[in-house]
Structure 1
Amino acid sequence: MVLLRRNIIVGLIACFVIACGPEYSFSNSVLNTSSVPADADPAVADSIANEKRAKQDALLDTVSLRFYMSKNSSNPSVFDEHGYRDGLWEVYYSNGQLASKGSYRNGIREGLFESFYENGQVKEKISYRDGLIEGSSESFYSNGKPSSKGMCLGNHLHGNWETYFPNGKLESRATFENGYPNGLYEEYYSNGNLKAKGIIENGVPVGAWEYYYENGKLKQKGSYTKQRNGYYEYDYDDD
């Protein structure tokens, strides 16, 4: 019998937590070349220079960007009478390659936002509603293959989510409810063989779980049960 802490599941589902609720912070308040995150928008005025948007630091690539307000565009980047972003906004790498694009309504993100790698490949596709991540969310590797995909509800993971290895094979699959994994969880090796599977309830493992070696052979199986002291007992079979 093995005692396991409540946070055992954190390592299993860490690949999902970066999908919703990003955070950005801005310090500059001028529309010019500056060192900012590749998929960030520049601060538009002193009154909103301290604006912050959700994006985890681990996802940010610092590059030199230029911001363009295209006079020839049918949907140019503009400000409303209060100085807030309104309409389509685009951010470019210093080489002229598009880094990100999306629309604002009264300074709030609305609709599909896309970010791109410097080679032109799509990096992320995230849907917003009233400034919150709502609907489909997808991320990609620089080679164009999918990295993760699923749905969000009010900045929380919600519904079915899948993550992938750079070779395109499935890495993990889980179902979320308001940000917490709930239901069957499956994890795989990069060769496609099953690594682990079991049930999660409100973010913690329960019931029968199975673990496998990379060659597909069963490594261990057992069951999780909650204890009064906040630990979990894991009974496993040696066969």
Structure 2
Amino acid sequence: LIRKDILYRRSEELHIFSSTTYNSKNEVVEIKYFEENGEVSQIKTYKDSILEKVVNYSHYKRAYSIYDKLVNPKTGYEYYKARESLTQFKDLNLLDAKLENEELNLYSLKSSDNKDIFVVFQNYSPGKTSQDGIRWYEDPLKYFGIKEIFYGKRKSEKIKSYEDIVKDGYFEEFNLGYFPGAASITGSPYNVETVIKTGYFEDGAESGVWKNYDSSRGDLISSFNYVKGVLDGPYEIYFSNGALKENGEYRDGRKVILWEAGPQYWPSY
């Protein structure tokens, strides 16, 4: 057996779900999982039939497994809608990424207008061995998740350190959630990587509105305004239930509270 494809049917159309490659010993070498549009979403590589590495390419484009209650304005009926991922880099295909520095786990891609987009990965391990028998405890450096994605300018063609890049443009920071591959591809989508911070850089300095989000639900935690890397302008801080906790403004880095909520008491269950 050289290759085995698994297909699924949706709306009377067949879509490829996964493709498994075998070696001459009939051992699994690689499994590729696909999105509905045919793009590769995940690749698992094996050695001696043991899963050694999982690389996710487009899982951060999926919807959260969180639903918000909305009201249909025409009928008045309530309904629930899956929350979309906060990332603005949904169209990136990490299969096209170029390795810039292996020690830094740094890759780059070109945007549609030929600007450099940099992707920084971080190493991590799951809390326990998955059913696939992942040997994370032997070599945790095999597993990666997205840490940052941002627009930047090169100081030199060969990047030896992060100092060789000037962040310039939109920026996103991620928090690692569930271990890649531990969740079913066809089941409920999991927050493998959740956006926790967004904002803009201008020649290496924070500029404009920066927002911080809860790492598990993606709810807005705070919003601050920067001018040339210094806090300056209105800000807002929120409770975990979405209620406003505090607002005010910064004046050249100095905080001025305009309104602050009183003590909050949450019911215990």
Asked if these proteins are the same fold (TM beyond 0.5), I'd say no
Structure with the bigger RCO (C-alpha within 8 Å, sep 6+) is 1
TM-score relative to the length of structure 1: 0.44
TM-score relative to the length of structure 2: 0.39
